[in-house]
Structure 1
Amino acid sequence: MDFSETYKHSGPCAWSPNGRMLATAVDFRLVVRDADSLQVLQLFSCLDKINQIEWASDSTYILCALYKRSLIQVWSVAQPEWICKIDNGPAGLVHARWCPDGRGILATSSFQLKITFWSLVTKHSESLQWPKLVMRGVSFSHDGKFAAVATRRDCKDFVNILTSESWELVTRFEVGTADLADLAWAPDDGSIAVWDSILDYKMLIYSPDGRLTAQYSAYENALGIKTASWSPSGQFLAIGSFDQTARVLNHLTWRPFGEFIHTPTIRPNGAVAVYRELEEGRHVVLEGRAEGLTNGMQFREAAAAAADAQGAREGPTKARYEVVDEQVVAVPNRKPEPDKPNPKQGIGLLEWSPDSQYLATRNDSMPTAVWVWSMPSLELTAVLIQKEPVKAATWDPTSARLAIVTGTARVFLWAPDGASCVHVPLADFHAVGLRWNPAGNAFVLLDKDTFCCAFVPRTDEYEGH
């Protein structure tokens, strides 16, 4: 694995859908780089700080949302002289996104007053009042023809089906939620999953014409659904709950055929491999000469004293994975604080592998562990226990390869044939975010205000050697 040098960023970062370019924001500047060489291809200056960037589906245009000015600026990589500005008006701007065709933009106003469709082709706009949510509550069909938008009026939740090209209303129907949390269109476009807030465990499956085809509730009178995710194949719907269990529904009966319980102890066996991050020691580099240190004890004492002295600097900590062969392995567990809202418990991460063969999960009350479940066997395959809480865990878009970062100078990789730990050879770099290139040959590691690229061989390149 090769690493680039670090570059500045101020938050937003996105690969182009074709995997050939990388766009980053540096305050009010949009920087577009070549994905392989990281050389600057285009540099655009916006009118204010960039809060959000997003590529069009054909990698031709990039939108920059400037929330403070209620403005969207759109740039063309091929024609840098082309300029487009969208003023969302006094209603404000809190989020923007592309329509699937890459020629229409949806802008959500402040206080969810309306969501406006702006066409780059016809230059007209259409608005839908009272969108329920800001970043969630909008899902496009996978053929790109329709959009499902959640709205709320008169204390009732509705799902609106609109055409994505002209934003014409096709149908609208009321859903049986008390406080809709999100919705998601199935990959086969035949169903729309709608789920309620954490106060009521309710998963509803609707057809696009508004017919309720299924309803599922695992339990009552307790905190319910925290996350939900369709598998890429569309055969499975994973539900992460506050009872520390991930349930997988099948698309035929809409009943769970797998319940994955995250227990505080694990018994490794031939089917389950437990990997634990092991630090091999932090070494101290002494400035100057260490004279008169005749034995190891004296050296260790001098090193300990030097660690607190001004003239000492700390070298990088070496780490690796060890395969745990203990009969019972305890997973570090943190009890949620009862006097604080949004308790850190339940399944907060659900990530499907691109082939739908594996499901990666994280129980937020066990934040240092990533669990990998096998769909063919419906069993736990691997558990990766880190030293620090997991910040991000993302699958390679082209293969069953999982990358994990924990806010340290390390990247952890898992594949069905094993796991590895890679040190990032950059000074004062702590990876808190990760973005895979759609081609699967690189990913971006994000620190607070810097980023670097890691270039990795594709899995088919491994197999060719």
Structure 2
Amino acid sequence: MSLEVENDLIRVNNQLCDFSRDGRFFATAYQTNLTIRDYKKFDIIHSFVFPDIIEYIEWSRNSEYILCANIKKTIVQVYSIRYPEWKYKLTEGSAGLESVTWSPDSKYILTLSDFNIQISIWSLENQSVTHIQNVKSSFNKLYFTPDGNKLAVVVSIEGNNNIEIYKTDTWKLSKKLICGRLNSIDGLCWSPNSELLCIWSSFSNEMKLIIYSSTFEKDIAVFHPAQTVNLSEMEYTNYKDLKGIENVTWMPSGQLLAVAGFNEMDQSALLFCYEKCCTVVLLNHVTWKSLLQLYLEPVISENYLNKVYEERVIQSKFSNKNAIRVNVVNISKASTFIVEEKSERPINIKIGRKNITERLSIAKFDILEFSSCGQYLAVKHQLYPTTLWIWNVIDDYLDYLLLENTIVAARWNPTRAHLLVFCECMYAFEWTPYNANCLTIPRNITVLDARWHPRGNLLLLCGYNKAIIYHIEDK
């Protein structure tokens, strides 16, 4: 694959740029200006002026509207692509503003107040507003079903956590789940077909995950780190390694459920761990039994299926003696960065060390995402900041990316098994099932993240305050 520049650098506020859902436009925000461009010719179609510095933007699902927000000053304003003279402004007021998002039907704006006291639902059609109260304060996102018909909310009343499910066409409460099996509710996740809701407790004395069926309106399975219970068959399966549940994600087809957490290591040992402590379990969606387990171990042992790609730096212009006199940027320009496959075993993986200010925090999985085809799962844990595991869950083998710098983002192509990895530097890494490469980013942008065009042929690279679009060419 190669990257070809399509236009000049675009100034943005803190990575505020994105393609519309239908791929026809892309938006960039710089200071108080919102600019809408055509994705083919990159011509400016609309330019809007926001009342203050733009801190957040989001396209509606129908790509007809885009909202801008200043979170600190609780200002939200909506602009129309079809009718640029129209706009809708709302102010949350004394409740404050934690986050804002679109409803799936693009007819409402949902705002989450400070400390998650309430969710406000603003209608674009009649400008009415309704509220959902007693939202649990530890949640800062909203859990819509993929089909957009329902919203699950965690509410806390007198210290008891429950689930409320609302219909998004009327915003009426349709179901209230009393989660007596859980001591607390620490996470939610809808299945791709919008029928199953995963509800889990992470760090209480009884850590478990409940599978609730909205079709049958009952729990159909319970996964426990010590055992799994199929409520119809009452079968138990032991999981001696997994002691906590941190994150859950579905395969796009819904056939497998990935459950990530830590195992037998003590919480304090997560700071300087050299043993197995990070586990991903794949559960079958029919029996809810474990099919495969992945341990993130610090040593790569012999396995003829596993491939290891390691970053190398080749000094091409400066000798080591002269390199001392030049700055890091010049060294980077004079160096060639490559990725090569390593054949020797065993290979030690770099383990991150926490500084004093981070010692009270718990190391977590910060990347756990399936490819669009569902065959590959990208995994990164904070204990191993420069390593990415790419797990072929069909054939059960691994590819490793061992890089020099901390991985800050990994983005799957929405159309195929093609992954780009970013390390807050002026180059990126590409992985496919066949090989891995290092890609030089022109214009000397320090890349923090990227946005894929829905067709997978364009890439919007995001720096600190710059963005640029590149065309993807397959070789």
Normalised to the residue count of structure 2, the TM-score between the two structures is 0.86
Measured after TM superposition, the shift of residue 177 of structure 1 is 3.1
2:174 to 170, 178, 189: 170
Once the two structures are superposed, residues 307-360 of structure 1 have per-residue CA deviations (whole angstroms, 9 ceiling, x without a partner) of 379xx887342111111010211111124468722233x433101001111111
- Separation in 2 of the partners of 1:82 and 1:420? 47
Confirm or deny that 1:240 pairs with 2:260: yes
Q: Does 1:389 align with 2:411?
A: no
Q: Does 1:249 align with 2:276?
A: no
Q: 1:421 to 1:83 in 2, by over 3 A?
A: same
CA contact (8 A) 2:144 2:150 kept: yes
User: Would you say 1:207 and 2:213 are equivalent positions?
Assistant: yes
Residues 365-380 of structure 1 aligned to structure 2 (within 5 Å): 365-377=383-395, 379-380=396-397
Which residue of 2 is the match for residue 129 of structure 1? Answer: 133
1:197–1:313 Cα change, 3 Å: closer
- 2:244 aligned residue: 224
Q: Structure 2 residue aligned with 1:42, among 43, 46, 53?
A: 46
Change (3 A) 1:388 1:198: farther
What is the aligned-residue RMSD (CA, Å)? 2.4
- Letter matched to residue 393 of structure 1: A
One-letter code aligned to 2:191: A
> Is the CA contact 2:421–2:428 (under 8 Å) kept in the aligned structure 1?
yes
**Secondary structure of the equivalent of 1:213?**
strand
User: 1:202 deviation in Å?
Assistant: 2.0
In 2, Cα distance between equivalents of 1:326 and 1:305: 32
How far does the alpha carbon of each residue in 1:353-386 deviate from its partner, in whole angstroms, 9 at most, with x for none?
0111111101211111111111212x22311111
Shift in alpha-carbon separation, 1:348–1:224, aligned structure 2, 3 A: farther
Which residues of 2 match residues 357-372 of structure 1 at below 5 A?
357-372=375-390
Aligned to 2:13: 10
Q: SS at 1:456's partner residue? A: strand
CA distance in 1, matches of 2:355, 2:200: 26
Equivalent position of 1:441 in the other structure:
457
Relative to structure 1, the CA distance from residue 355 to residue 55 in structure 2 (aligned partners, 3 Å threshold; closer, same or farther) is same
Contact 2:98 2:140 in 1 (8 A): no
The change in CA–CA distance for 1:70 and 1:137 in structure 2 (over 3 A counts) is closer
Residue type of the alignment partner of 1:354: S
- 1:262-320, Cα deviation, whole Å (9 max, x unpaired): 11111354311110011112634xxxxxxxxxxxxxx875x3464379xx887342111
Q: CA deviation at 1:116?
A: 1.2
Q: In structure 2, how many angstroms separate the alpha carbons of the residues matched to 1:300 and 1:48? A: 49
Deviation (angstroms), 1:206: 1.2
Question: 1:137 Cα shift?
Answer: 5.0
State whether residues 312 and 339 of structure 2, in contact with CA within 8 Å, keep that contact through their aligned partners in structure 1: yes
Is residue 353 of structure 1 aligned with residue 358 of structure 2? Answer: no
Amino acid at match of 2:450: L
Q: Distance in 1 between matches of 2:241 and 2:301?
A: 32
**8 Å contact 1:55–1:63 — kept in the other structure?**
yes
**Residue aligning to 1:26:** 30
Q: After the TM superposition, which parts of structure 1 deviate over 6 Å for at least 4 consecutive aligned residues?
A: 220-223
CA distance in 2, matches of 1:31, 1:334: 40
Q: Could you list the runs of 5+ residues in structure 2 that have no partner in the other structure?
A: 227-239, 263-276
**Residue 189 of structure 1 aligns with which residue?**
194
Higher mean Cα deviation, 191-200 or 380-389? 191-200
Q: 1:399 aligns with which of 416, 419, 425?
A: 416
Say which SS state the counterpart of residue 180 (structure 1) adopts: coil
309, 313, 317: which is aligned to 1:279? 313
CA contact (8 A) 1:94 1:134 kept: no
CA drift of 1:81 comes to: 0.2
Q: Which has the higher contact order (CA 8 A, sep 6+)?
A: 2
Q: Verify the 8 A CA contact 2:115 2:137 in the aligned structure 1.
A: no
Contact (CA 8 Å) 1:268, 1:325: kept in 2 or not?
no
Q: Distance in 2 between matches of 1:445 and 1:388?
A: 18
Q: Write the distance in 1 (CA, Å) between the matches of 2:313 and 2:241.
A: 43
Aligned pair count? 439
Percent identity between the aligned chains?
28
Q: 1:80 to 1:111 in 2, by over 3 A?
A: same
| Matching residue of 2:68 | 64
- 1:307-326 pair list within 5 angstroms: 307=326, 315-326=333-344
Task: Report how far residue 39 of structure 1 moved.
Answer: 2.9
3-state SS of paired residue (2:164): strand
Provide the TM-score with structure 1 as the length reference. 0.88
Deviation for aligned residue 1:112: 1.3
Pick closer, same or farther for the CA change 1:314–1:72 going to 2, 3 Å. Answer: closer
Other structure's SS at 1:79 match: coil
Q: 1:305 to 1:333 in 2, by over 3 A?
A: closer
Match of 1:76 among 75, 80, 89: 80
Question: How far off its partner does 1:6 sit?
Answer: 2.0
SS at match of 1:171: strand
Contact 2:351 2:384 in 1 (8 A): yes
Q: Which amino acid aligns with 1:190?
A: E
Aligned to 1:289: none
2:103 matched residue in structure 1: 99
Q: Which residue of 2 aligns with 1:51?
A: 55
